[in-house]
Amino acid sequence: MIDPFGRSITYLRVSVTDRCDLRCAYCMAEDMTFLPKAEILSLEELDRLCAAFIRLGTTKIRITGGEPLVRRDVMTLFASLGARLGGALDELTVTTNGTQLARHAEALAAAGVKRINVSMDTLDPAKFAAITRWGKLDKTLDGIFAAKAAGLAIKINAVALKGFNEDEYDRMLAWCGEHGFDLCLIETMPMGEIDADRTDQYLPLSLVRARLRKAWTLEDTDYATGGPARYYNVAETGRRIGFITPMTHNFCESCNRVRLTCTGTLYMCLGQDDAADFRPLLRAGVSDDAIDAAIHAAIARKPKGHDFIIDRRHGAPAVARHMSVTGG
């Protein structure tokens, strides 16, 4: 699948639910309304769409959400996708908040998942409870260590939030080094209405990187995971730090990704509204050829890039849907 800008589309992110057991302040409003069950694709429907993408050249699938591990029976999807590893699919992975990992880590490893991303924005229990509104740090840590024990490689994702966790990155980098995890910092993106003004939260990672360099040796590396992060080796820990900078730097040139939501809507760009709806096709019982043709038609509409610009006056979101709809 080659898009109109010559980019090869090999990476599919699949949001398997819009629901979540946390309410991270930058991601969701506290009183989120979730989709009615009838609009959500079954795991078999999601599997069929993933199979079509794999047939057309997708080599990497990341399962995300909402919180993917709160979806009932989601392990059956991991198992069926995992069975395609070693064939056309090279990698199956997941982004999770970690709350359900203690239960599922072994099954993820058994399905062939090798690396996972766990979102954890702070190591301070009180701050963790505040930013997630409903979370307990210990539960996420238990999940992280269960995943480590199951042999999964772990990357900790932290959203960089001005005045919230900006004094913690040194400690987090050291903690990740101690436990053998990579760390990835992410700039906040203006997606969906939340209960706060995002201009207050935005922290450019160019600044963070410059501050980190005072204490750490960040060595250039061409390490890449097929995602949007730019990585450095941290000489002192032997682990890596990544920066995802959609706001400070155009990360679209090498974009190889499209995103499927739990309703069967394919977004060709995280930061644009154009989408292709596969649910009517699936529910009309169309052939695999018709699904493949619809995927090709969607890829042919992939835009050059996003237009995330924080509106400094009223902090309105650039796209109306929340990150929990399209997944991270």
The footprint of ligand SAM (CB under 6 A) covers 20, 26-27, 64-65, 67, 95-97, 119, 157, 159, 186, 188-189, 191, 323-324, 327-328
Q: How far is the CB of 211 from ligand SAM (least distance, A)?
A: 20
Which one of ligand SF4, ligand SAM, none interacts with residue 157, CB within 5 to 8 A by kind?
ligand SAM
316-321: Cβ within 8 A, 24+ apart = 316/190, 317/190, 317/191, 317/192, 317/193, 317/198, 318/189, 318/190, 318/191, 318/271, 319/190, 319/191, 319/192, 319/270, 319/271, 319/272, 319/273, 320/192, 320/193, 320/273, 321/191, 321/192
By the criterion CB under 6 A, which residues form the site for ligand SF4?
Answer: 20, 22-24, 27-28, 65-67, 97, 119, 324
Distance, CA of 19 to CA of 35 (rounded, Å): 8
In the complex with ligand SAM, the residue whose CB is nearer, 202 or 291, is 202
Q: What is the largest CA-CA distance in the chain?
A: 59
| E strand or H helix that includes residue 43 | helix 43-55
Residue closest to ligand SAM (Cβ): 328
Nearer to ligand SAM, 92 or 294 (CB): 92
Residues 6+ apart with CB under 8 A from 106: 146, 150
> Residue 2 Cβ, how far from ligand SAM at the closest point, in Å?
27
100 binds, options ligand SAM, ligand SF4, none, Cβ within 5 to 8 A by partner type: none
| Complex with ligand SF4: residue 21 or 292, whichever CB lies closer | 21
Q: How far is the CB of 256 from ligand SF4 (least distance, A)?
A: 23
Q: Which is nearer to ligand SAM, 15 or 256 (CB)?
A: 15
Q: Which residue do the tokens 């499927």 mark?
A: 260
- As given in the structure block, the two tokens for residue 278 are 């596969």
Residue 205 touches which of ligand SF4, ligand SAM, none (Cβ within 5-8 Å per kind) = none
Partner touching 64 among ligand SAM, ligand SF4, none, CB below 5 to 8 Å by kind: ligand SAM
